[in-house]
Structure 1
Amino acid sequence: MAHIPDGLLSIPVLVGGGIAAAAGVGLALSWLEDDRIPEIAILSAMFFVASLFAVPVGPSSVHLLLSGLMGLTIGLATFPAVMVGLLLQALLFGFGGLTTLGINTLNIALPGVVFGWLFLPLVRRLQPASAGVAGFFCAAFSVAGTGIGVALALMLSSSDFVPSAKIIGATYVPLMLGEGLITGFAVAFLKRVRPETLGVPPLGERNPT
């Protein structure tokens, strides 16, 4: 349940998540280079489509996030890519909510950005097969980060959500494996055919011209 619906979270959690997500989007846009917009749009569209297909797991459901892959390929731009996808899903299909747009964006995008940044040096140095293994762990840890973020948002909103939050967090374990495998194969493939798509410079460092 990465798409937390309206009406569940407390005002402080909603406001805090909204501010943090807005900061991430603003920072990403301030460093966004025009030639990367098509790539970001494609990944945002992939996220939009992939996360429409939810698989029931226990009392909750899970769906692909692709945040690890986005973190490795577009870096901080994962924030606007995820926010646009979530906004369209909320408006067109009622997934998630508008008041929770900020916290949902934060929970999905932040782990992808953080672990993408941590694993990117490995992916750049390693051969395709080994880079795929690094991509697997990047995606798995990103999914785990999202599960922790969702659980924390619920628990910080009300102590009544603590039992549910623990169960929902556990449902992310199979998604870690599935998303890790998909991202691992994608990273290995990109490393072979278009290695330049893997990774953007760290914040504050422009691409060489």
Structure 2
Amino acid sequence: MHISEGVLSWPVLAGGAAIAAAAVGVGLRRLPDERIPVAGLLCALFFVAALIHIPVGIASVHLVLNGLCGVLLGWAAFPVIAAALTLQALLFGFGGLSTLGVNILVMGMPALIAAAAFRAPWPRSAALRGAVCGALAIVCGVLLMALALWLSGGAAFASLIGMVMLAHLPVIAIEAAMTAAIVGSLQRARPALLQFRVSA
């Protein structure tokens, strides 16, 4: 889901960087001390999940687990995702530093959407809500990636956008299953971890 350097226009890069910086700042202020160990664990999980990735044009397909980050951290998912993406860019060249802001938004905004969706008054099953949130986070991420590409290249990127969307279909199913399994286990063993308030 990383967008490579040299593809997006400067207005998109600058706007993405500014919004991402503000979101990371909000996330840091809303990260309680007792959630720092969870944040560290999720940062490592997020970092490792993307190490096995398949290049698709100027982007890549890999596990993200941003839905899980959102469910457990709310706004605090932004600094977690930002730290992992920065390390991936510096150590492995995934994405790049110029696209860091946009990539943070592409993966961070869906985490926040998943966090809100998980707490909506709907089916009581935590595993079912986790599955929906895991899938929703990838769908939203792909749509945000498509928007960034469209704003930068318009119809010239139409075929690439279609290819990226198609390539992420298996990822949606895998993320749904993994998030459901993890959230279901936490509901049985540590339900307090699922009580994090998005707006706290």
* Fold shared by both chains (TM-score > 0.5): yes
Contact 1:10 1:157 in 2 (8 A): yes
Partner of 2:139: 144
Shift of 1:50: 0.7
| Structure 1 unpaired stretches of 5+ | none
> How many matched pairs?
199
Quick one: distance in 1 between partners of 2:75 and 2:24? 8
What amino acid maps onto 2:136 in structure 1?
A: F
Partner of 1:184: 180
What amino acid maps onto 1:194 in structure 2?
A: R
Contact 1:58 1:171 in 2 (8 A): no
What amino acid maps onto 1:3 in structure 2?
A: H
Quick one: distance in 2 between partners of 1:108 and 1:165? 17
Partner of 2:68: 69
Across the aligned residues of Structure 1 and Structure 2, the Cα RMSD in angstroms comes to: 1.9
Partner of 1:41: 40
Shift of 1:133: 1.1
Partner of 2:31: 32
Shift of 1:5: 1.2
Measured against aligned partners, the alpha-carbon deviations of 1:150-201 in whole angstroms (never above 9, x if no partner) come to 1111111012112211221221111110110000011100000001111412
> Counterparts of 1:110-129 in structure 2 under 5 Å?
110-122=109-121, 126=124
> Counterparts of 1:165-184 in structure 2 under 5 Å?
165-184=161-180
Contact 1:60 1:171 in 2 (8 A): no
TM-score of the two chains, using structure 1 as the length reference: 0.89
- Are 2:198 and 1:202 equivalent residues in the alignment? yes
| Structure 2 unpaired stretches of 5+ | none
What amino acid maps onto 1:51 in structure 2?
A: A
Quick one: distance in 1 between partners of 2:158 and 2:57? 16
> Counterparts of 1:84-123 in structure 2 under 5 Å?
84-122=83-121
Measured against aligned partners, the alpha-carbon deviations of 1:90-126 in whole angstroms (never above 9, x if no partner) come to 1011111000000000000101111221222458x82
Contact 1:78 1:109 in 2 (8 A): yes
TM-score of the two chains, using structure 2 as the length reference: 0.93
